[in-house]
Structure 1
Amino acid sequence: MKRIQLGNTVFEGKNDVYLLDGETTTLVDTGVATTDVREQLEAELAAFGVSFADVDEILLTHWHYDHAGLAGEIQAESDATVRIHEADAPLVAGEESALSAENETTRRKLREWGLPDDRREELLDFLADHESLAGRPAEVTPFEDGETFDVDGVEYEAVHLPGHSAGLSAFAFEGESGEEAFVGDAILPKYTPNVGGADVRLDAPLELYVDSLVRFIDRDFDRAWPGHRDVIDDPSARAATILDHHRERTENVVGVLRERGPSDPWTVSAELFGELKNIHVLHGPGEAYAHLAHLEQRGVAERDGNVYGLVDENPDVDELFPAIDAQS
């Protein structure tokens, strides 16, 4: 297995593409569809004696442009099989109905979250300007949770971990250190993956993500290969730390509602994150929405229109999350 780190000035940076080079040449994720990244990926693969035309299989962890953007172009040169979870498959395939529905959902949720007109239009312009990063649509082969793929005698199991996106999936396999996994953005070594804004199709993103983190911890992987930056040598501890981060953020959201009274996600986002730019104009209120919806689901807050208010001024936030030892 070879790890290729690609530049990325649009999203989180240092995208990881993994090359499984054997009789069957396989890529895990592909990077974003920009000229610079395309040229870099071609050069990095060439250093290992591989071209786009040599690729047989592409395993995509999820639909986001910085992971799936070049899949269609690589497939056009190689006729590679592109595999992705069924929940994200229509977006990578460029299905008009799926793209239109995602666009309409984005517009609806931005209104529901309370973005001012000027900030909403600013964000929509930003998103429209970056649609080309999705790259060429691919002919996809969808998979379900638990499906396995044999690559040169190694079995890769799809482990569905929704939250950051509806279809986000890890690929688990037996590696040098024991059970390892390519995890995309399920967990990251530095950042906490966004929930709420990263995939607006999800109505209970934090609930789903918490369940995914618990499932991930229970799998107790020995090593994780993320979609950005460097290998994670204690993935269960990292997942538990991210879970604690969301517990703390929920406490902060409760604090905002207690101090300001009933508020919409945009107001809560401003208190949590301050002034936002570019993609973060989506991610900030999306994150606030995810936590507010979690409070509503657990009966701690209630929603009146697009505004959330506390039912209990002093809830026990610990009871809203599973008890996980961050040092496990």
Structure 2
Amino acid sequence: MKTRRRPYSDQRPTGHGGGVWSVPVPIPGNPLGYTLVYAVESPGGIVLIDAGWNHEDAWTALRDGLSAVGVRVSDLRGVVVTHYHPDHAGLAGRVREECGGWIAMHEADAALVRLYRELAGDSGRTLQVEMMRRAGAGADADAMVNAERPIPPAQPDIELRDGELIDLPGRALRTVWTPGHTPGHLCLHLEDADRLFTGDHVLPGITPHVGIYPYDRADTDPLTDFLGSLDRLATFTTTEALPAHEWTFKGVAARAADIRAHHEEKLDSLAALLTDLAPDAYSIWQIAEKMTWNRPWADLYPIQRGMAAGEAAAHLRTLETRGQALRHPGEPVRFSAP
């Protein structure tokens, strides 16, 4: 399925019928290429679902793409952000400035936006480096000292909860809370057309990133949350999915089941790896290095290794809650077979 992904240069604004359009907005320097920003029409105005990365090229693509389907940014009612990541929330603040409307986001991600805005600049970078060192990153942590960090997204005006209707008069666009990729990730069900805007929760050809940050947290289990969120989509058997990346597709429930099976296989492989390494305990970074990724560990950039370690940490945490991994506190924290 991955071979069907087209480069950004091949993307065009698209009408999906029923007052729904998509506009591809580029993500500079990212292999995903672009975010699909959706515009949903109603008698009370048009609302965007996500907004794209905060970059001048992205802004031009969003503005011109909307114009191509007859929509002016200044006329928008607001933006619903599926989650706080910069390729989704980055331009929401600029859209709000242009249209005078609102930004809506789940309350859990809104709390993270407040935190990241407080930690903008050197303090946030220092915390990131320290987090990596506690996970055993070594030289990879040192490489992040001067790394560029995305501009924090704008604080939302509306904090959403599960099952709420979006302010879209004449239509029924309801939130479906699907934590895992982020604590406040939302899918949005357009009930009057049986369409599900899936954000990054369910994508047709790739699986979304699920990680723990800081890596050594023991008070959260995002992968278990994510698996439960996939199960929530079991009733969407005939619903059309409009994801934030790749392409639209049918069969949300089946795809969610496939993604769940992928993670269960990964958990089984990681449990087997810990058994093979027993009785020794290893840092999160050392374990991530021994896991299988889409490229050899040596070929990953430090930031990519950081994301891989976040995924390793999430899988280790789930194994820990299932009694299949044992945490050894310290700096760095280590894990072993129980």
- TM-score (structure 1 length as normaliser): 0.84
In the other structure, the counterpart of 2:3 is: none
Tell me if structure 1 keeps the 8 A contact 2:174–2:191. Answer: no
In the other structure, the counterpart of 1:321 is: none
Q: CA deviation at 1:105?
A: 6.2
Which residue identity lines up with residue 45 of structure 2 in the other structure?
Answer: T
Q: Summarize deviations over 1:253-272 as a string: whole Å, max 9, x none.
A: 12321223322221121122
Determine helix, strand or coil for the equivalent of 1:37.
Answer: helix
Greater shift, 2-11 or 179-188, is seen at 2-11
Q: Tell me the distance in 2 between the aligned counterparts of 1:121 and 1:227.
A: 33
Identity %, equivalent residues: 28
Q: CA deviation at 1:295?
A: 0.8
Out of 2, 11, 17, which is 2:37 matched to? 17
Tell me if structure 1 keeps the 8 A contact 2:131–2:214. Answer: no
Greater shift, 10-19 or 57-66, is seen at 10-19
Determine helix, strand or coil for the equivalent of 1:56.
Answer: strand
Distance change in 2, residues 1:139/1:195 (3 Å): closer
Structure 2 residue 164 is the aligned partner of structure 1 residue 147: yes
In the other structure, the counterpart of 1:170 is: 187
Q: Summarize deviations over 1:33-90 as a string: whole Å, max 9, x none.
A: 1111111111101112322211111111000000000000110111111110001114
Structure 2 residue 42 is the aligned partner of structure 1 residue 26: no
Structure 2 residue 242 is the aligned partner of structure 1 residue 225: yes
Q: CA deviation at 1:109?
A: 3.6
Structure 2 residue 199 is the aligned partner of structure 1 residue 184: yes
Out of 50, 64, 70, which is 2:85 matched to? 64
In the other structure, the counterpart of 2:276 is: 259
Q: Tell me the distance in 2 between the aligned counterparts of 1:107 and 1:148.
A: 40
Determine helix, strand or coil for the equivalent of 2:313.
Answer: helix
Structure 2 residue 317 is the aligned partner of structure 1 residue 293: yes
Which residue identity lines up with residue 28 of structure 1 in the other structure?
Answer: I
Distance change in 2, residues 1:227/1:279 (3 Å): farther
Which residue identity lines up with residue 264 of structure 1 in the other structure?
Answer: S
Residue correspondences, number: 304
Distance change in 2, residues 1:270/1:304 (3 Å): same
Q: Tell me the distance in 2 between the aligned counterparts of 1:269 and 1:263.
A: 10
Determine helix, strand or coil for the equivalent of 1:239.
Answer: helix
Tell me if structure 1 keeps the 8 A contact 2:238–2:250. Answer: no
In the other structure, the counterpart of 1:110 is: 132
- TM-score (structure 2 length as normaliser): 0.82
Q: Summarize deviations over 1:132-164 as a string: whole Å, max 9, x none.
A: 3x45x2442101111112424111111111010
Q: Tell me the distance in 2 between the aligned counterparts of 1:194 and 1:280.
A: 11
The runs of 5 or more residues in structure 1 that have no matched partner are 312-328
Which residue identity lines up with residue 217 of structure 1 in the other structure?
Answer: A
Structure 2 residue 290 is the aligned partner of structure 1 residue 268: no
Q: CA deviation at 1:219?
A: 4.6
Q: CA RMSD in A?
A: 2.5
Distance change in 2, residues 1:158/1:108 (3 Å): farther
Distance change in 2, residues 1:181/1:153 (3 Å): same
The runs of 5 or more residues in structure 2 that have no matched partner are 1-19
Q: CA deviation at 1:110?
A: 1.9
